[in-house]
Every structure is written in structure tokens, then in C-alpha cells.
Amino acid sequence: MNMEQAFQTFLAESAELLQDMEDKLLGLENCEDATESVNSIFRAVHTIKGSAGLFGLDDIVAFTHVVESVLDDVRSGSFVLDEQLINLLLQCKDYIGKMVDSIEGESVLMTAEDLQLQQALTNTLSGYLNKVHSTSPATMLVGINETDDYQSVSVIESDITIANENWHISVYFGVDVLRSGMDPLSFLRYLATLGTIVHIETVTDGMPSPEDMDAESCYLGYEINFHSNATKNQIEDVFEFVRDDCQLKILPPYAKASEFIAIIESIQTDELKLGEILLRCGTLTQRELDDLLHLQTSVKQGGTHRLIGEIVVADGLASSEVVTAALHKQAQGKKAKEKQAQTVRVDAEKLDHLINLIGELVIAGAGVESEAHLTGIGSLKESAQTMTRLVEEVRESALHLRMVQIGETFNRFQRVVRDVSKELGKDIDLQINGAETELDKTVIEKISDPLMHLVRNSIDHGIESPALRAERHKPVTGNVTLNAYHESGTIVIEVSDDGGGLNKDKILQKARANGLVSPDTELSAHEIYQLIFEAGFSTADAVSNISGRGVGMDVVRRNIEALRGTVEIDSEYTVGTTIRIRLPLTLAIIDGFMMKVGDVFYVLPLDIVEECIELNACHSEGQEGRHYINLRGEVLPFIRLGDYFCKSQRKAKRENIVVIKYGNLKAGFVVDELMGEFQTVIKPLGPLFERVPGISGSTILGSGEVALILDAASLIHLVMQRDGKAMSVAAQQSALH
């Protein structure tokens, strides 16, 4: 990997890490495992710092260093992450992102304004650092200045870090170990297979006088300086069988002094002697031992048992801390490798190319199958079918490659909600449902902006001010919910709020004033709501810098329609609003249902087809000119595709009606012939026919003929418009049954 590639990876990785950092920060307030979150935030900053150092980006290193130091203090429990600090860290995260974006060659070009911000942030951060050091005098005593020399990755610790690159294992066996048939020596021999025992000290202090000594009891303990690349778990497993029956402490490389103190204190032996044992083991240097004893004494003399308490707590938490520390030195490289093994970064272009090829393969496969059918050779037909099945599976998994969970996009809104609500002085919670719902990556990218607009709208216009909410007897905290789920071949994304809802009368009034609606037209509630998607329409009394200019919703609608999706609104005044976006699952290949009218083939997405029935004489009897049938007691409006598209007058002997369901609307399409399921590769129609209503694309059949892909959404709306309001109301009612 050359430097340029490495640099690209650095950029991508930084973006990911920062995103992760933001998610974790936002999640902290209602998070169960805060320690783990803090650790991963720390790791994010630490990794960026390390990588930036690699590229000689000193400015980033300097800034991240300060952030990291503060985080490290948080990690060691010096102070808690309160809301204020979270806000500060979020700002820092933004600023780091900005720095990474402004990298120009080997330097970071920031504007004077940004530098001021940096100064401000650094000052606030140092405020935290100073505070810590002044509140723990015991720490001050041992001097922080010496620690930095030990590690190349320098971290300002509030605790001394011991400069030992080996593990230290302290194990004291229980009295009954020998009687249970276990021999401590065998554990030591096994341990030696995991790495090198650099030095071992047998602690014999537990040995009683000869008269009291029971030859079948075990009195020994060991202090071991152990060099190994094994993980803490692996080392722990060595002692698995005696785990409950021994006092085992495993300190990672570069452990904290406090952890050594904990060992010294927990072991019933002469403190000085144990210190010397550690010294002999090579675990501690003489100076470190002196510092350690000094630290310990100063804590005791200070009369404050606070720090000792902390040490005990730290001891209890040792496993997570150990993991973190170990990650830093040893596991880091390993972890990166593991991660690489789990995911592969692929150029989006390559993926698109693959999908295109598979599209062609599907078409070619269909050709082979129809040819095979014509030959009538049984074995050939069978082979062709097997191939078709395999092609189908390949297609399925190729499309899955592009599928991404929507959760990540949703999570990005946490920050928006937090920032905007603060700006507006509202208290708003964002709830996320269906985060695991998957959809095409391209769709996700394109839906992100419209969603952002809708969320901002909900916060700004939807949720009322706290005063008004109180007046309406609602909880002061407003709720914005993002929801995603699959429904009949489409994905539905909902943005709901429990805010003020839409004021129908006001919208209608405004629409009439703007001339969007003629004064004497009566509109259903649903139609009135759709008005807000019209260009230049805004009911907001005041235009804020967030929304209200009447541009947004129009753009939202157009963006969504460009994705062959639809958007609709449910709302109740003073209760809340739900905006529902319906999108096709994927843009490239669909399972289609093929039909024929005259000589023309049409394809509908299979998932929206409910059923097919024969349109017989009794259906149309006495209903000339009216376009609906009685489908088991429901009113079903229908459209003759032949009439709509080509006006072919030739009536087929038998006609079929295909019932489709889109959202809560149902309609029938009358066709001549049903051809059945068909894998459809959607080809765009080209600019000339792009605007033809009712058609969303074309596809090429195995025979080389072209089939048109119907746009169910716009056709249904055509049906509704044609039949007028009365019909649509009836249809809606029937759909409810």
C-alpha cells in the first residue's frame, strides 16, 4: 500500500471513527455500558491521533492529544461525562472532522476563525485537565512529568503507568488445591507454552511453622513476569480449573501503578518484600517502586481513603481496563486484521458494474430458457431451469451486497435533533424504530437529504413550544419518531411527531389565497395535506433559519418521486403528524409479473400484485362506462391498460383483471393475457420518455422484445383522479375493510 492509498484509508477511517464517536457520545445519556462507550470514544480519538502522526499532521496530533487526555481522565474515573462535557466533546469531534477535511498536503489549512475556535476549545479542555489535577493531590505528588517518557504514544495519565511491556501475573493458590488433585506446577508449565516466563518468584511467605504445616495443603504463591502476545482471556484460561480456588491477578503491559498497589495491598505479606519481588521480577524498576510506595504512603497519610476506594473500584473494573490497555499495544494490529477479514472495502463502481453484468445475465438467461422451451428437449429445459434458478440466487445476493441498514442514517439525526431542539429551546426525544431495515445504498444516500428536511420540519413546525405543550396537556418533552419497515415490495419510512399537527383550514385558506385551489373546490383532508408539497407553499407565520420558506417540501417530494417513491401525510390537528415515504426496495432488478395487452408486454412489480381474476361478463354487465367491479363485496376501480396506452380496439376473447395494492389503495388493471412471474432488469427509459406518466422503465425480454414496466403509484393515482373524489373515498373505505 503506497502512501496515497494509506492516506485515503486514513480519511475514510477518520470519518467512520468520528461518526462512531458522535453516536457513542449521543448514546451516553441513556447507555447501559458507559465505560465501554467512553473507551471506544477514547480509542477513536487515539487512533486518529496515531494515524495523523503517521502522516506528519502535527496540528491534528496536537489537538487530538488534548481531547484524548481529557477522555483518558474520564476513563480513569476522575470526573463524569456530564451534558456540558458531552457538548464540548461533540464540538471537538466536529472540529477534528473539519481539520481532517482541510488537509492540504502535509499541513492542515484552517481559517483564522477556525483557529480561534480551536483555541477556545483547547482552553476549555485544559480547564478540565487542570481541575482533575488540583482535586487529586496524591496524584500530583508522584509527578506526571515522568510518565510521558515511557511510551512513544504519550498519554497524560493521572496515574503512573508502569513501563513494563510484559504481563504481570500474580497468583496465590488456595490451601486445598493439592487435595483437589491439581498441581500448581502444571499450570506454570502450561503457562510457559503461551509465552516466555521472563522471571518467576516463588512466594513462600505463606508457609507456616513445621508443626502447623500440613503436607497436603498448598502454601505457595507466584509473581510472574510474563512475555506473551496472548490475550488476557487466554492467560486467565490457564488457571481456569483453579480459578475459584486461587487469588489471581493479571496486569496487562503498561498497567497502572494503582493496580500494583492493589496487588500489594491485597496480598497478606510484607509490603516491602512484595515490592522487592516485583522488582526482582523485572516488572517494576527501582524508581517506579519508590514512586509506588510514595504514592501509597501519601494516600494513607492524607487520611483520605477515597483513592484507596477508587483503587478497589478500579480493581473490580480491571477486566475492562485491562482489555483497553492491552488493545493499545498488542491487540491493536491484530484487531485491525480481524476487522479487515470481516469486511472488504469495494469500490462502488465495481459493484455497480457487477450488478449491471448480472442484469445482462438475467436477460440472457431468460433468452436461453425460452429457446430451450422451443426446442422441446427435456434435458435442455431442465438445465436451463437450473441455470435460471442459480442466476436468480446470484442476483439475489448481488443485490444484497448493495443493501445497507437504514439505522446508520437514522442515527445521524440524533445529532440534528439534539442541536436544533437546543437552538429552538425545545425538549425533544428522537425515537428510532426498524433501524435494521435494509435498503439499497443508492436509495439511502438519496433519501438522506429529504429525511433531514422532514425531521427539521417536525422539530421546527411540528413540536410546539414547551409552554404550548403544557397548555395542551402534553408531556413537555416532544417526541419525534423515525420508523422503517418493509411492505409489499416497498420500504416505508415514517417521520412522526407528537406535535401540533397540520391545520387543515389554514392550509386550505392559504391555498385558496395563493390560487392553488379554486374557491369552490371541495378537497378531502388527504388532498389538503398533499398541498403542502406544492412549490412555494408555506403556512409558517415566521420564516426561521431552519425552515419555513416553502421551498423544502416541494424539493422533498421531487427527490422522492425521482426515486419512484411516493410521500403522504397523516395528521391530526394538535395531536401530531406522520409523514410516510414509500420507496421501491431497489433500483436495478425486481421480481416482475408480466402481462400482455395486444402485442405489448407490461410488467408490474410482483410484490404489489394481490391476485388475478377473470373479468367475465357478469362483472361488466350493466356497468357500461363505469370502471369498477364488485370484488367480494368491495368496490374495486379498474383501468383498461389497452385503452390507456394504445387504444387498441381489438377486444380479446377473455380478459383478466390484475388486482394490485399500493399502500392502502387497491385497483385493478385489465389485460388480455397473464404471462406470470418474470425477473426484470429495469432499464431507464431515456430522457425522452422519462416524463410519461404510468411507465417507470423498460426491460428486455429473452426474445429480445421490449416490455414496459408500469409505475403502479402513478397509475393508481390516475385511476383515483379519473373516478373522482367519491370513488377514492369509496376505495379508501373498501381498503380499510
Could you list the residues that contact other proteins (CB under 8 A)?
177-179, 183-185, 188-189, 192, 199-202, 204, 207, 209-210, 213, 215-216, 218-220, 222
With cell 462502488, the residue in question is 348
Least distance in angstroms from the C-beta of 234 to other proteins: 20
Nearer to other proteins, 275 or 450 (CB): 275
Nearer to other proteins, 247 or 332 (CB): 247
Structural contact between residues 583 and 491, judged by C-beta atoms closer than 8 angstroms: yes
Least distance in angstroms from the C-beta of 192 to other proteins: 8
Nearer to other proteins, 2 or 204 (CB): 204
Nearer to other proteins, 211 or 520 (CB): 211
With cell 512484595, the residue in question is 274
**Residues 493, 499, 500, CA angle at the centre, nearest 5°?**
120
Nearer to other proteins, 201 or 460 (CB): 201
With cell 370513488, the residue in question is 727
Least distance in angstroms from the C-beta of 167 to other proteins: 17
503 vs 480: CA distance, rounded Å: 19
Q: Residue 577: enclosing H or E segment and its boundaries?
A: strand 576-584
Q: Which amino acid is at 336?
A: A
Helix 441-457 × helix 552-562 angle, to 10°? 160
Least distance in angstroms from the C-beta of 208 to other proteins: 9
134 vs 129: CA distance, rounded Å: 9
Q: Which amino acid is at 283?
A: T
Least distance in angstroms from the C-beta of 277 to other proteins: 11
Which residues sit opposite 248 in a β-bridge?
171
Nearer to other proteins, 220 or 361 (CB): 220
Report CA torsion sign: 233, 239, 245, 251.
negative
| Measured torsion, CA atoms of residues 604, 609, 615, 619, in degrees rounded to the nearest 10 | -130
Least distance in angstroms from the C-beta of 205 to other proteins: 10
Structural contact between residues 282 and 226, judged by C-beta atoms closer than 8 angstroms: no
Nearer to other proteins, 179 or 337 (CB): 179
Q: Residue 320: enclosing H or E segment and its boundaries?
A: helix 318-326
Helix 306-316 × helix 257-266 angle, to 10°? 90
Least distance in angstroms from the C-beta of 196 to other proteins: 13
Q: Which amino acid is at 105?
A: G
Cell readout for 66 is 488534548
377 vs 383: CA distance, rounded Å: 10
Pairing of strands 478-487, 428-433: parallel
- Alpha carbon 595 to its chain's center: 40
Nearer to other proteins, 169 or 629 (CB): 169
Nearer to other proteins, 159 or 223 (CB): 223
Least distance in angstroms from the C-beta of 281 to other proteins: 10
Which residues sit opposite 431 in a β-bridge?
481
160 vs 108: CA distance, rounded Å: 33
| DSSP 8-state secondary structure symbol assigned to residue 180 | T
602 vs 580: CA distance, rounded Å: 28
| DSSP 8-state secondary structure symbol assigned to residue 458 | I
| Measured torsion, CA atoms of residues 148, 151, 153, 154, in degrees rounded to the nearest 10 | -10
Nearer to other proteins, 214 or 611 (CB): 214
Nearer to other proteins, 102 or 217 (CB): 217
Least distance in angstroms from the C-beta of 166 to other proteins: 15
Nearer to other proteins, 280 or 412 (CB): 280
Nearer to other proteins, 213 or 470 (CB): 213
| Measured torsion, CA atoms of residues 578, 581, 582, 587, in degrees rounded to the nearest 10 | -160
With cell 445475465, the residue in question is 361
737 vs 730: CA distance, rounded Å: 11
Nearer to other proteins, 185 or 617 (CB): 185
Dump the DSSP string for 237-281: HHTGGGGGGEEEEEEPTT-BHHHHHHHHHHSSS-HHHHHHHHHHH
Nearer to other proteins, 178 or 719 (CB): 178
Least distance in angstroms from the C-beta of 243 to other proteins: 17
Least distance in angstroms from the C-beta of 275 to other proteins: 18
Nearer to other proteins, 48 or 218 (CB): 218
Structural contact between residues 723 and 619, judged by C-beta atoms closer than 8 angstroms: no
Q: Which amino acid is at 680?
A: T
42 vs 72: CA distance, rounded Å: 7
Least distance in angstroms from the C-beta of 195 to other proteins: 15
Nearer to other proteins, 57 or 277 (CB): 277
Least distance in angstroms from the C-beta of 181 to other proteins: 8
Least distance in angstroms from the C-beta of 283 to other proteins: 14
Least distance in angstroms from the C-beta of 201 to other proteins: 7
Residues sharing a CB contact under 8 Å with residue 481, sequence separation 6 or more, in sequence order: 430, 431, 432, 433, 494, 495, 496, 497
Least distance in angstroms from the C-beta of 217 to other proteins: 8
Least distance in angstroms from the C-beta of 202 to other proteins: 4
Pairing of strands 695-700, 706-710: antiparallel
78 vs 62: CA distance, rounded Å: 22
Structural contact between residues 233 and 252, judged by C-beta atoms closer than 8 angstroms: no
Structural contact between residues 674 and 658, judged by C-beta atoms closer than 8 angstroms: yes
